[in-house]
Amino acid sequence: MSDFSHKPTLTGDKVILRPFREGDAETMAAILDDPEVLRLTGSAGQPPFTLARLREWYGTRGARTDRLDLGLVDRASGRLVGELVLNEWDEPNRSCSFRVLIGPAGRDRGLGSEAIRLLLAYGFEQLGLHRVHLGVYAINPRAIRVYERVGFVREGVERQALLHEGAWIDSIRMAILAPEWAEHRGRAGIHTP
């Protein structure tokens, strides 16, 4: 792999991950303005993105070779409900960063877990990644549980990384490695009798 120039469509039972289109800007504007998204991403209090800026942003994701941005579509409704991103590509070390955000229409139905597994499978099995890492604020225990369930391992804490509503919040660093993925394929935290 030399870059992220190919933008795949990945299909699961509940979700489709697909390349962004300029027309997705309106939907993403509403998702990015959701109070829960703003709180959990540490973006509360930041000025909102203009629709013109979001149209330009989502309209150019397909041309980027240094990152992979995919829209998260709920198969049941056909609606765009969020995004998943592989970025901060470190080619010599076959490593990159991961982030996900899901708006209100996509929460609490297992869409995120399936979407993360789809993207990790693509990253490790098709792109040849060795390491995928992320940061998640401690005020997001739901995401932490999902990340652990799909195989991310806690590596450390960035203490007091976010000032939120007058309180300092830690950022938890997590990662998953190719050998770990090969062993459990995103089912690390699922125990069957």
pLDDT per residue as tens digits for the range 110-155 = 999 999 999 999 999 999 999 999 999 999 999 999 999 999 999 9
- Whether the CB-CB separation of 34 and 97 falls below 8 Å is answered with no
Question: What pLDDT score does 23 carry?
Answer: 87
Domain of 90 in residue numbering reads as 10-184
Determine the 3-state secondary structure of 115 from DSSP.
helix
The number of folded domains in the chain is 1
Q: 155: burial class by Cβ within 10 Å (0-12, 13-18, 19+)?
A: exposed
Question: What pLDDT score does 193 carry?
Answer: 38
Asked, for residue 105, whether it belongs to a domain, the answer is: yes
What count of other Cβ atoms lies within 10 Å of the Cβ of residue 98? 24
- Whether the CB-CB separation of 55 and 21 falls below 8 Å is answered with no
Asked, for residue 161, whether it belongs to a domain, the answer is: yes
Question: What pLDDT score does 48 carry?
Answer: 82
Question: What pLDDT score does 114 carry?
Answer: 97
Q: Which residues of the chain have pLDDT under 50?
A: 191-193
Asked, for residue 22, whether it belongs to a domain, the answer is: yes
Asked, for residue 190, whether it belongs to a domain, the answer is: no
Asked, for residue 192, whether it belongs to a domain, the answer is: no
Which CATH number do you get for residue 127? 3.40.630.30
Asked, for residue 5, whether it belongs to a domain, the answer is: no
Asked, for residue 4, whether it belongs to a domain, the answer is: no
Report the Cα 82 to chain-centroid distance in Å: 9
Asked, for residue 79, whether it belongs to a domain, the answer is: yes
pTM to 2 decimals? 0.93
